[in-house]
């Protein structure tokens, strides 16, 4: 397979060729003891039984560390009413915040944005990130669709609401506006595919992720690389060409966290995968670990992957990314519960890496998530976790990772918090094949 070679000249940024997740890499994706998380059981109590909660992110400082406000840490998440059929939640997604003193018990703060004539932008808001800088909250998000649209559209723009302030007292923590909403970036059609250029399943231009590196301010995001019809990418195979996910990056020339310019992608997966979701970087030991989540159904024809966390490593932010563990697979669900978790977020913790995610469908072993729709509605609701999943503990060793343990559902410790001994040999914790 030659697919690592074909690149569009527009993807060159100062002579740099976009590093690729290739079909050869992805052909090596296979579950192993190091990459399969234990089976997840429902928690005693979800974070908030009135809400479905899925993609989650931390309020972070400019140096990427977790913000601590008067002893509270804060997470933001996509949410909807828990009465809604889970498959419909993306159509009404609302960003809410939650806070905790111990990183275990989370209080619901409420919707981040007030809805007024100025915002938030989009007919609903998809994933983003949150920055706390000199007392101001910058809440980045994906503006999906257009405000007030009668029929849902799937236009995606990277946006920010800024001007938020945080107050704490004996009753807890509150984030309040007024917010100023701005569109930050839209696809340019050169580095990043526009909706009109898109040829396959829904295009992507979403999930902004603020990242500061040695004083330079960046925004990473999920996107697609334009592949024109009739091009020789993927050996000229039009079916494979439709799968063209990328990890985009934009830079703020002045450091202003509301002014970004597009740059060439960090990585792409042309002929490999359509959706490189929620990209984020953990800098560690002088290396850059780039993570994305992706789905089993977004791999190109001829490739088999899973709903999983995938990772890549390079010596600089815009360096030559190599897939971790050879194929890129870092963390996935057991084969008998292939959709139990999704949308992972990795963060540094001493000599481990932790990964949070949301508890997705359990007691569901069918090969495709589409088949959830054949379940009676009550079962679709019952089998949807809709809350934070157990945090997974990973050891990193150069280009290799392995799962070494888990924490409770939604346990998000600060970097200096001591954790119990991880379990190393996994024998007794291996997922129970055939349980469902």
Q: What minimum distance in Å lies between the beta carbon of 89 and ligand FRU? A: 7
What beta strand segments (E) does 194-286 contain?
206-213, 216-224, 244-252, 261-270, 277-284
Instruction: Supply 178's token pair.
Output: 């007024």
- Rounded CA gap, 354 and 415, in Å? 10
Q: How far is the CB of 142 from ligand FRU (least distance, A)?
A: 5
Closest CA to 333 of 314, 354, 361: 361
Comparing CB distances to ligand FRU, the nearer of 184 and 404 is 184
Per CB under 6 A, 36 contacts ligand FRU:
no
Considering beta carbons, is residue 60 or 206 the nearer one to ligand FRU?
206
Q: Can you list the positions of beta strands (E) in 37-81?
A: 51-60, 73-81
Site string for ligand FRU, 276-295 (x = CB under 6 A): -xx-----------------
What is the nearest approach in angstroms of ligand FRU to the Cβ of residue 378? 23
Query: Residues 55, 242, 268, 307: which binds ligand FRU (CB under 6 A)?
Result: 55
Q: Please tell me whether residue 163 adopts helix, strand or coil conformation.
A: strand
Q: Among residues 278 and 318, whose Cβ is nearest to ligand FRU?
A: 278
What is the Cα–Cα distance from 413 to 421, expressed in whole angstroms? 14
Name the percent of the chain in helix, strand, coil, to the closest 5.
10, 45, 45
Closer residue to ligand FRU, CB minimum distance, 93 or 337:
93
- Among 193, 212, 277, 296, which one carries the catalytic annotation? 277
CB of 57 to ligand FRU, least distance (A): 11
The candidate with the shortest Cα–Cα distance to 127, out of 96, 153, 170, is 96
CA distance 34 to 299: 22
Q: Which helix (H) or strand (E) holds 168?
A: strand 156-169
Rounded-to-integer distance, Cα 247 and Cα 107, Å = 33
C-alpha–C-alpha distance, residues 381 and 99, integer Å: 26
Q: Give which of 50, 126, 130 is closest to 97, Cα–Cα.
A: 130
Separation between Cα atoms, residue 246 and residue 177, nearest integer Å: 33
Residue nearest to ligand FRU (CB): 126
| Nearer of residues 90 and 297 to ligand FRU, judged by Cβ | 90
Tell me if residue 408 is catalytic.
Answer: no
Binder to ligand FRU among 78, 112, 308, 392 (CB under 6 A)?
Answer: 78
| Host H or E run for residue 397 | strand 390-397
Taking CB under 6 A as the criterion, which residues in 365-424 touch ligand FRU? Answer: none
* Residue numbers 331-360 binding ligand FRU by CB under 6 A: 342-343
User: What is the smallest separation between the CB atom of 265 and ligand FRU, expressed in angstroms?
Assistant: 16
Q: Judged by CB under 6 A, which of 64, 79, 100, 142 binds ligand FRU?
A: 142
Angstrom CA distances, 388 to 98, 237, 242, 378, stand at 12, 40, 33, 21
* CB-based contacts of 252, cutoff 8 Å, min separation 6: 216, 217, 218, 219, 259, 260, 261
Taking CB under 6 A as the criterion, the residue among 25, 206, 402, 409 binding ligand FRU is: 206
Output the smallest distance, CB 169 to ligand FRU, in A: 33
Terminal Cα-to-Cα distance of the chain (whole angstroms): 37
C-beta of 202: minimal distance to ligand FRU in Å? 10
Binding flags for ligand FRU, 244-263, as an x/- string (CB under 6 A)? --------------------
Question: What are the C-alpha distances in Å from 324 to residues 272, 280, 331, 347, 397?
Answer: 16, 15, 11, 16, 10
Quick one: which of 16, 62, 90, 101 contacts ligand FRU (CB under 6 A)?
A: 90
Which of 26, 67, 75, 127 is the binder for ligand FRU (CB under 6 A)?
A: 127
Contacting ligand FRU (CB under 6 A), which of 207, 242, 296, 307? Answer: 207
CB of 206 to ligand FRU, least distance (A): 5
**Which of 126, 312, 359, 362 is close enough to bind ligand FRU by CB under 6 A?**
126
> For residues 330 and 310, what is the distance between their CA atoms, to the nearest angstrom?
5
- CB closer to ligand FRU, 223 vs 317: 223
Which CB atom, from 143 or from 234, has the smaller least distance to ligand FRU?
A: 143
Nearer to ligand FRU, 55 or 193 (CB): 55
Annotated active-site residue 277? The verdict is yes
Catalytic: which of 55, 207, 222, 242? 55
- Smaller CB separation from ligand FRU, 72 or 76: 76
Residues known to be catalytic: 55, 277
Give the residues lining the site for ligand FRU (CB under 6 A): 54-55, 78, 90, 93, 126-127, 142, 206-207, 222, 277-278, 342-343
């Amino acid at each position: 397979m030659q697919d690592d070679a074909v690149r569009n000249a527009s993807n060159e940024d100062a002579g740099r060729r976009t590093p690729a997740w290739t079909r050869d890499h992805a052909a090596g994706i296979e579950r192993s003891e190091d990459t399969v998380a234990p089976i997840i059981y429902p928690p005693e109590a979800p974070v908030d039984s009135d809400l479905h909660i899925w993609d989650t992110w931390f309020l972070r400082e400019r140096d990427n560390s977790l913000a601590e406000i008067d002893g509270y840490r804060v997470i933001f998440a996509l949410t909807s009413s828990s009465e809604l059929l889970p498959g419909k939640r993306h159509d009404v997604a609302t960003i809410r915040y939650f806070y905790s003193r111990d990183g275990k018990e989370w209080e619901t703060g409420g919707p981040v944005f007030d809805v007024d004539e100025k915002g938030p932008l989009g007919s609903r808001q998809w994933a983003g990130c949150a920055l706390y800088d000199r007392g101001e909250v910058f809440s980045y998000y994906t503006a999906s669709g257009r405000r007030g649209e009668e029929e849902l559209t799937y236009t995606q723009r990277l946006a920010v609401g800024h001007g938020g302030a945080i107050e704490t007292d004996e009753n807890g923590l509150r984030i309040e506006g007024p917010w100023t909403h701005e569109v930050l970036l839209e696809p340019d059609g050169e580095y990043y595919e526009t909706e009109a250029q898109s040829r396959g399943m829904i295009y992507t231009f979403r999930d902004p992720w603020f990242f500061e590196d040695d004083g330079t301010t960046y925004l990473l995001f999920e996107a697609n690389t334009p592949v024109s019809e009739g091009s020789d990418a993927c050996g000229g195979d039009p079916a494979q060409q439709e799968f063209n996910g990328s990890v985009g990056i934009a830079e703020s020339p002045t450091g202003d966290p509301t002014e970004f310019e597009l740059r060439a992608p960090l990585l792409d997966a042309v002929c490999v995968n359509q959706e490189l979701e929620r990209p984020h970087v953990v800098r560690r030991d002088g290396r850059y670990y780039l993570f994305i989540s992706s789905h089993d159904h977004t791999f190109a024809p001829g490739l088999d992957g899973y709903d999983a966390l995938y990772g890549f490593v390079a010596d600089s932010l815009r360096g030559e990314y190599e897939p971790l563990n050879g194929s890129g697979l870092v963390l996935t669900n057991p084969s008998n519960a292939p959709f139990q978790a999704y949308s992972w977020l990795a963060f540094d913790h001493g000599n481990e890496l932790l990964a949070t995610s949301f508890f997705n469908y359990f007691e569901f072993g069918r090969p495709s998530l589409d088949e959830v729709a054949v379940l009676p509605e009550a079962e679709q609701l019952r089998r949807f976790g809709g809350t934070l999943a157990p945090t997974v503990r990973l050891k990193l060793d150069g280009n290799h990772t392995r799962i070494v343990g888990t924490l409770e559902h939604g346990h998000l410790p600060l970097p200096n918090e001591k954790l119990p001994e991880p379990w190393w040999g996994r024998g007794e914790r291996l997922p129970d094949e055939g349980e469902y």
